[in-house]
Amino acid sequence: MRRNIVAGNWKMNNNLLQTEALLQELKMQVIPENVTVMVAPAYTNLYHAFESVRGQAIEVVAQNMHQSKNGAYTGEVSAEMLKSVGIDTVILGHSERRAYFNDTNAVLAEKVNTALENDMQAIFCFGEELEDRKQGEQFEVVKAQLEQGLLHLNEEQFKNIILAYEPVWAIGTGETASPEQAQDIHAYVRKLIASAYSDTVAENVSILYGGSVKPGNAKEIFANPDVDGGLIGGAALNANDFMAIVNAF
């Protein structure tokens, strides 16, 4: 089912005490019924966060995971480990993972499979770089990322996917895609999903926008017919800003 979703990607920020402090602030807020709220703390704080928000309308999700079941992968965390601490959703393919940690489309295809095999949902991120956009190649880039990382799934599996369009040039830069630029890509992606699966599947997938979403611009971005919410970085570290975005539908 297509849902409005606002997910806070905390990245490598907040130790345990800071994680709890931010969660306390969020827990005091009323979450509107038409929005699914997610937060993604660092691995070390996932279990605590899961316990802390138990019974509340806030879902704790992971920022990444390894594609293998288990084994000699020093420093990595598996789907089964995430599940064992209550995590059912994982962000995959964030541009920082693609840029710094070799999350290629092929690796991401494996990670997506692993997530689904473990009954997890995946928030699959994709988006072009500035150079791609300057060349007018944003649609081709996005298409290739989706085809190579995601569209091997069958229709049933695809129901567990949330999409997140994050133009790399807009992440952490203060530069936001205009509402029109976001809508153009989102509409294009929904069409791509319709031709890969069906109109129903395309209608039902939530497509989030990420890249310098702030309280001041969330409303006009979320107002687009094909934008179903946001993946929020910097502004998710402040409870008031995050909640203003949650309330921007």
Residue 66 is among the residues annotated as catalytic for this protein: no
177 binds ligand PGA (CB under 6 A): no
Residue 38, judged by CB atoms within 10 A of its CB (0-12, 13-18, 19+), counts as buried
89 binds ligand PGA (CB under 6 A): no
Residue 20 is among the residues annotated as catalytic for this protein: no
Which residue has its beta carbon closest to ligand PGA? 233
Q: Say how far apart CA 16 and CA 165 lie, in whole Å.
A: 29
212 binds ligand PGA (CB under 6 A): yes
The kind and range of the H/E element at 224 are none
- Candidates 23-31, 52-60, 189-197, 205-213: pick the segment binding ligand PGA (CB under 6 A): 205-213
171 binds ligand PGA (CB under 6 A): yes
SS3 sequence of 144-185: HHHHHHCCCCCHHHHCCEEEEECCHHHCCCCCCCCHHHHHHH
Catalytic one of 94, 96, 128, 186: 94
Residue that the structure tokens 């849902």 belong to: 3
x/- string (CB under 6 A) for ligand PGA, residues 137-166? -----------------------------x
**190: alpha, beta or left? (left if phi > 0; alpha if psi -120 to 50):** alpha
Q: Which residues bind ligand PGA (CB under 6 A)?
A: 9, 166, 171-172, 210-213, 231-235
